[in-house]
Structure 1
Amino acid sequence: MSFSPLFEHPGLALYSIPAFWALVYFPAILKNATIGRSVGYDNVSPRGNVARVRDPDTAALVKRMEGAHLNGLETLPLWIAAVLAGTVARVDTCTMNVSTIAFIGLRTLYIYCYLTQKTQLQSALRTLAWLGSTGVALRLLVKAAGALSS
């Protein structure tokens, strides 16, 4: 099986923006569903829902879900900027697509680790996934700057 058609698809990086947006909201949807099953979701005061969860294990999980969601929201502008800069600067398609696959993969791993972590080692893996994904986005921005300056 050859991956070359995937790496040569010119729009893949742009598709990653709505894909990452959906990935960012996945933990929030899980959080709301977990709160709904636990204490009932209060849509009148949605930001107070996390504090209403009393079971310690469920509360810890809900807080991790919220943290994963918020971190994704913090990272979203960086990824959008990297993809748009790379597109405008005409960074080569393979670089854009490898970056896209690496970024989405690392962010998926980050969310999984965030939601399931119970040990320091697991939290270290989460941090490495964050560093890796941030590095991918920053590398793409640098590539775009280099492409524009040459």
Structure 2
Amino acid sequence: MSIAYWCILIAAVLPYIWVTIAKQSGERYNNRDPRGWQTKQTNPRSHRAHAAHLNGFESFPALVAGVLMAQLAGVPGSTINALAVVFVVARVLHGIFYIGNQQALRSLVWLVGFLSALALMVMAALKIA
């Protein structure tokens, strides 16, 4: 099960990697007004990295819920680990494709990540029912 827990940790850190890229892609960063600073950026890469940052936070609860639900329901650890790894790989690729302005690939890997988290929840629900 520790692989899935490591995946949760990695997924928790990923948004901070993307926002670091956003800050480095824009004009000199101003920590006094970070949100205002972001809205003033003209580099599209900074905006895309910031969007990947926000999306990382949006997707994180689904992984956590899926892993914990599946574990509590008795889904095999190997299945939980595999789906958690798929989620993290998809989320890394999502950020890369988002920053790289690859919309179709970004959407595809977003779907893969979402479905992996959803699969964990569904397996948990079917085990409990």
Superposition TM-score, scaled by structure 1 size: 0.81
RMSD: 1.2
Query: For residue 65 of structure 1, what is the aligned residue in structure 2?
Result: 49
2:106 aligns with one of 79, 103, 126: 126
For residue 90 of structure 1, report the CA deviation from its aligned partner: 1.8
1:15 aligns with 2:3: no
Query: For residue 30 of structure 1, what is the aligned residue in structure 2?
Result: 21
2:84 aligns with one of 76, 100, 104: 100
Q: Deviations over 1:103-146 (max 9, x none)?
A: 111111111100012xxxx3111101011110110011000111
Distance in 2, Cα, partners of 1:66 & 1:98: 28
Distance in 2, Cα, partners of 1:80 & 1:41: 32
For 1:27, give the aligned amino acid.
W
Three-state SS of the structure 2 residue aligned to 1:42 is coil
Share of identical aligned residues, percent? Answer: 32
Does the aligned pair in 1 maintain the 2:41–2:47 contact within 8 Å?
no
For residue 44 of structure 1, report the CA deviation from its aligned partner: 1.1
Distance in 2, Cα, partners of 1:148 & 1:16: 24
For residue 33 of structure 1, report the CA deviation from its aligned partner: 2.4
Q: Deviations over 1:69-88 (max 9, x none)?
A: 11111111111111111111
Structure 1, unaligned runs of 5 or more: 1-9
1:74 aligns with one of 50, 55, 58: 58
Whichever of the two has the greater Rg, that structure is: 1
